[in-house]
Each structure stands twice: as C-alpha cells, then as structure tokens.
Amino acid sequence: MTTVLSFLFVLGVLIFVHELGHFWMARRNGVRVLTFSLGFGPKILNIKRGDTEYCISIIPLGGYVKMAGESAEDPRSGAPDEFLSKTKWQRFQILIMGPVMNIALAFVVTTVVLLQGVEAPIYEGQPPVVGAVEAGSAAEKVGIVRGDRILTVAGEAVPTWEAFNMAVGIRPDRDVALTLDRSGQPVSVTVRPSPVSKYEIGMIGVLPDVNPVIRSVTPGDPADKAGFKVGDQVMAVNGQRIVLSSDLVKATSKSAGTALDITLKRGDTEQHVQVTPVKRGDRGMIGIATSEPTRSFQPGPFEAVKLSAQRTVEGSGMIFKTMGQLFSGQASPRQLMGPVAIAQLSGESAQAGWVALLALMSMISLNLGVLNLMPIPVLDGGHILILLLEGVARRDFSLQVKEKLLMAGFVVLMALMVTVIYNDLTRIAWIERLMPWRN
C-alpha cells in the first residue's frame, strides 16, 4: 500500500505541475482551455468552471491540457482565443512551460532536501584511485591493480569516484576503454562492466581506498563483548580486506557460529579481535552498524539555492548526454525505467523517509522535464522543433507533413515504451522466470 500511495503521490505532483505550466501560460496568452486532466481515459471526477473542464481520469500515467483550436484537425473558427490563432512565439511559450515547470520543481525540491542537511561518502568527491580490486572481477581480468588512478572512461575525464561510477554505470556489457595512471606511466585497458542489481548498473570491480566505520554497537551482542567501539574502522576479516559495509555484511552473514579474526583500526593502532557471529534468521550477525566515512554539512538558504542550481544544471546535462549515448548505442537501454520501477523506487524511498521520497521526486521531475524537451515529435520538444522549422522556412507546414513527423515521433515513443515496460517486467522475479531467454 505504501508503494502504491507514494507512487500516486509522486506521479500526481509531477503531472499536475507539468500540465499546470501549459495551462497557466495558455491562459496568460489568452488561449481558451477546454480540458485540464490528470490521467487519461474515462473520467472518474470532473467539474466545470467557465470554459474549462477540470477532471481526474482513470489511467494515472500522464495528463493533458486540451486547448481550443490546438491542431489543424480540430474545429476552428479563427477566433483569437484559439491556440493556432496565436503567434509562434506565444505557442512556443505555451509548449515549453510544461517542461520548464518540471525543471523548476526539481530545483525547488532539491533546495528543500539540501536544507535538511547533506551527508555523503567522502570518497565520492575524491579522485578515483583504486584501493582494492574484487577477485574475479572485470578489472582484475584486465590487470587493474591497487594504486591505479583512473583518468578517463570512454575518452571522458573522470575527476571523482562519483563521475567514474556514473560513466561506467551506464555501460554494462559494453567494451569500455579506460586510461590509467600507474606510478606516473599511462596505461590503457579495455574492460567490460558487468551488470549488477535488477537495474543492471555497470560495475568493473574496483573499490575506493576506504574502510567501514562503526557507527553503533548493540549492547550484549558479540561485537560488544569482544570490545568493538564506535569509531573503529574495520580493516579486514580473516585477512581479507574490507572496503565497503556490504563486504563486511557478506563476511559475517555466512559465518554464523564460526569465529572470525577481525582487524580493527582505533586511532593509529591496528588490533586483531576474535568474534563469533550469532545466527539470526538465515544470517550471521555480530551486532554493529557501519558506514563508509562520510562528510556532513548544513547549507544555509543561499548556499542551498546555489548548490541546487548547480545540481540541476549538471543533472540536465547528464540526461541529454545519456540520451545521446543511448541512441548511439554507447549506453544500455536496459537501464530505462517505466511505471513499475518508479513505483518500486517510490515505495522504497517512502520507507526511508520523506526526505528520500522528495529526493526521488526531484530526480524524476528533472528527467521528465528534460526528456520532454527532446526533439521527438509527439513530445513538447518535438512540437517546439516543428515551430522552429516553420519559423526558419517562413511558412507553416502542410497537415500531411506534420502528420508524417508526428507518426515518426509516435513510432520512436512506442519503441521507448515497449523497452521500459519490458525492462520493468524483467525486474519482477516471477515474471522473469517465465522468460527462458533471461535464464
């Protein structure tokens, strides 16, 4: 139920804001609006005020604003309050305001999220110097070693771990050229990232030079009895280096009832501690909570606005770039998400708290706004492109030409929809089991 409600909340807000942009600008330019609908299909709730019918329709996967004389097929009287009676500049304003409102919403919500405080792993903003290489990983197979500094991915500079993870993450199952700095000497390798998790994020098996820090110790549990302290760093388990908290969880989960030799670092001193995980459910646990070293700061209002603007600009650029890589085949279409995946993410975010849910809403709103600006007929960006082309040609295109352009856009959009629906279905375990080519 949480998943459904959070999904409807997120989607409802995004659709309302988008259509409100079209509606407000249409009214501002004197265009008569016939319908303002949240959702498609049969109407389940409607009310009429003036010339406009406001309604909620049964399929909550979109919405629309219907304007008088909106297309050449609509009955037209030539009245000045019809959409096609307006100048190209006025029509441009109406078309672009939907995406602009989504981008503005992303900016506002991100500002609100930032004002709650920021906490992020320290390593994300550091240069991608390899601290460990996972056994059997793609990185190990091509000879990447600890201490290598990753300079470029597919020809793009990656100044931080965050940039590196993004560049590799969108390229699962694709050969990717890396440039490394090894003791001052340039090294070039080609690696094939493996898809990880149901979202098939590309990973090559390199880890930063960090160790988990103990955030809490449960009184009376094995770790407490063995002398673990908050602030200790977990360096190794049975001699195997521990880099991320997930590595520690894996090591302890499979070792219920078996004594482990855990190397802790307290201050500048390392010590070996023996501890035996107890079985709880189907996994072994020692009673600690850990995380990677993080940096925290509380931005003021002006700083939050500045940082939000920066993130919005960077995020928009990354979306355009990723879409270009999708069409060129450099990025994987397997990572595209549809309604089911968004619903799952909404539910997970809602359980993590309202800040996480707002952060997800901001991300989706930015994607919705930017993607609607793509020059694909049927989308707002496609209609804007036709307007611009007509402006350059100094004449309106014929109905036949517009129909062909819209049909081409419709085919592209349907292909994207089929892709995202297929991706969503394969992320549901029992449905994927019915697909023999996926097993």
Average pLDDT, the chain: 86
Q: Would you state the pLDDT for residue 427?
A: 64
329 has a pLDDT exceeding 80: no
The model's pTM: 0.78
For residue 175, is pLDDT > 70?
yes
| Closest to 155 measured CA to CA, from 140, 176, 175 | 176
- For the beta carbon of residue 356, count every other beta carbon within 10 angstroms: 16
Quickly tell me which residue has 């699962």 as its tokens.
172
Read out DSSP for 383-436? HHHHHHHHHHHTSPPPHHHHHHHHHHHHHHHHHHHHHHHHHHHHTSHHHHTT-G
Q: Summarize the confidence of residues 14-42 as an average pLDDT.
A: 93
Catalytic annotation present for 19: yes
Could you read off the pLDDT of 260-284 as tens digits, one per residue?
999 999 988 999 999 999 998 888 9
Residue-level pLDDT at 428: 63
| Rounded percentage of the chain residues whose pLDDT exceeds 90 | 46
Residue that wins the pLDDT comparison between 339 and 324: 324
With cut-offs at 50, 70 and 90, classify the pLDDT of residue 23.
Answer: very high
| 97-138 confidence digits (pLDDT tens) | 999 999 999 999 999 999 988 777 888 888 999 988 988 999
Alpha-carbon radius of gyration of the chain: 26
Give the Cβ contact number of residue 277 at 10 Å: 23
Whole-number pLDDT of residue 341 = 66
> Which run of H or E residues covers position 36?
strand 33-49
Instruction: Catalogue all structural domains in the chain, each as residue range(s) with its CATH number.
Output: 2-114+363-396 (no CATH), 123-207 (2.30.42.10), 213-291 (2.30.42.10)
What is the per-residue pLDDT for 306? 94
CA distance 184 to 168: 23
User: Which residue would you say has higher pLDDT here, 168 or 344?
Assistant: 168
Which of the pair, 340 or 405, is modelled with greater confidence? 405
When pLDDT is averaged across residues 57-84 and rounded to a whole number, the result is: 83
SS3 (DSSP) at 153: strand
Pick the range with the lowest mean pLDDT from 91-100, 121-130, 140-149, 392-401.
392-401
Res. 357: pLDDT tops 90: no
CB 224 within 8 A of CB 158: no
Average pLDDT over residues 379-387: 87
Report pLDDT for 72: 66
Q: How far apart are CA 200 and CA 195, in angstroms?
A: 4
- Give strand pairing partners of 285: 278
Residue 433 confidence class, pLDDT cut points 50, 70, 90: low
The dihedrals phi and psi of 434, each to the nearest 5 degrees, come to -85, 0
Catalytic residue, candidates 19, 70, 200, 292:
19
Residue 424, CB half-sphere, CA atoms under 13 Å: how many?
15
Query: What long-range pairs does 184-188 form, CB within 8 A, spacing at least 24?
Result: 186/151, 187/148
Q: Which residue has the tokens 């001699």?
A: 239
What confidence score (pLDDT) does residue 435 get? Answer: 62
- End-to-end CA separation in angstroms for the chain: 30
* Span 226-243, average pLDDT: 91
Among 100-114, 221-235, 283-297, the range scoring the smallest mean pLDDT is: 283-297
Across 200-204, 237-241, 380-384, 435-439, least confident range:
435-439
Q: What is the mean pLDDT of residues 34-56?
A: 91
| Residue for token pair 């809602």 | 350
- Provide, rounded to the nearest whole percent, the portion of the chain with pLDDT above 70: 90
